[in-house]
């Protein structure tokens, strides 16, 4: 059940249907010329760039303060991810816009941006611009999500975002999900701050074009916003592409990244028998 009493909808089934959540998987290094490396990366990314790929990716959680934040921040990456992992379970939570045209747009857009995924979503009706005053409600929602989900990967706002709604959500996500990989997406707006990033998701030109087309098609109420047009979206993608030696890219901030160089054992070096 969602915090306001409804089901996470968007895929067949009812409230009793729950995706099978998997434990977070380690990330493995993929050599530049490996056949396992995505074609877009083999063709476009400089060979000096380190590439990390998940060993498995069964479940993804998407978190947003506002409708359209997710697709603006990571829509291209989401398209690539869902196509590369058919049947991946995706759960999305958006904290504002419930019961309005914005919810209809959000549901249609996320369906379009998650091709082949087992999608569930909830759009809450908290007031835009007032999420910091609803701190307890947001925190309970994230805790409820964590109680049901153990995702492999989380996309969420970043704590350096200039909008107070997104910044507050970003601060609570790692509290609810302290042991998970959280990628903080960035959004171009007059109240957002762009910071230097170190994690990039290269996008082929057709993917970027598809992202822009789907954004404009599904969010008709936002088409007059300068930050939502094709030029601003492509401009940021081109900038991030330059920084990672690709044509286009989306960029993320990482809260915590753990490298598993070798299998871990449960043996303590201080246990009897260790020399």
User: Looking at the chain, how many residues does it have?
Assistant: 275
Closest to 9 in 3D by CA, of 96, 126, 93: 93
The reported pLDDT for the residue numbered 53 is 67
The reported pLDDT for the residue numbered 3 is 40
Q: Which residues make Cβ contacts (< 8 Å) with residue 76, sequence separation at least 6?
A: 201, 203, 207, 208, 210, 211, 237, 248, 250
Report the percent of the chain where pLDDT is more than 90.
Answer: 62
Q: Which neighbouring-strand residues pair with 9?
A: 121
- Using one digit for the tens of pLDDT, what is the confidence trace for 60-92? 999 999 999 999 999 999 999 999 999 999 999
The reported pLDDT for the residue numbered 120 is 97
- Using one digit for the tens of pLDDT, what is the confidence trace for 190-216? 765 678 888 999 999 999 999 999 999
The reported pLDDT for the residue numbered 130 is 95
The reported pLDDT for the residue numbered 264 is 66
- Supply the pTM of this predicted model: 0.79
Q: Label residue 133 left, alpha or beta by phi (over 0 means left) and psi (-120 to 50 means alpha).
A: alpha
Q: Which neighbouring-strand residues pair with 247?
A: none
Q: Which residues make Cβ contacts (< 8 Å) with residue 60, sequence separation at least 6?
A: 81, 88, 89, 90, 91, 117, 151, 152, 153, 154, 155
Mean pLDDT value of segment 125-141: 96
DSSP structure string for 70-102: HHHHHHHHHHHHHHHSTT-EEEEEEEE-TTSHH
- Using one digit for the tens of pLDDT, what is the confidence trace for 242-271? 999 999 999 999 977 777 767 766 666 666
Residue 121 has pLDDT above 90, yes or no: yes
d(CA 63, CA 154): 8
- Using one digit for the tens of pLDDT, what is the confidence trace for 39-65? 544 444 444 567 776 667 899 999 999
């Amino acid at each position: 059940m969602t915090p306001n009493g409804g089901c996470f909808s968007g895929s067949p089934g009812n409230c009793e249907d729950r995706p099978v959540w998997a434990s977070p998987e380690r990330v493995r290094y993929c050599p530049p010329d490996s056949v396992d490396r995505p074609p877009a990366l083999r063709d476009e990314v400089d060979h000096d760039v380190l590439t990390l790929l998940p060993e498995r990716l069964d479940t993804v959680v998407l978190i947003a303060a506002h409708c359209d934040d997710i697709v603006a921040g990571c829509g291209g990456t989401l398209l690539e991810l869902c196509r590369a992992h058919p049947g991946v379970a995706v759960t999305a939570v958006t904290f504002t816009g419930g019961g309005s045209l914005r919810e209809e747009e959000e549901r249609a857009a996320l369906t379009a941006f998650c091709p082949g995924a087992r999608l569930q979503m909830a759009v809450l009706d908290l007031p835009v611009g007032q999420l910091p005053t609803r701190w307890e409600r947001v925190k309970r929602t994230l805790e409820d999500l964590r109680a049901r989900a153990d995702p492999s990967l989380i996309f969420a706002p970043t704590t350096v975002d200039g909008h107070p709604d997104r910044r507050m959500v970003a601060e609570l996500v790692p509290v609810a999900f302290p042991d998970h990989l959280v990628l903080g997406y960035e959004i171009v707006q007059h109240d957002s701050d762009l910071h230097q990033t170190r994690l990039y998701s290269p996008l082929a030109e057709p993917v970027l074009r598809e992202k822009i087309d789907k954004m404009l098609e599904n969010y008709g109420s936002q088409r007059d916003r300068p930050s939502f047009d094709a030029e601003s979206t492509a401009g940021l993608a081109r900038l991030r592409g330059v920084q990672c030696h690709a044509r286009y890219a989306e960029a993320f901030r990482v809260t915590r990244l753990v490298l598993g160089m070798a299998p871990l054992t449960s043996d303590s070096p201080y246990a009897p028998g260790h020399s």
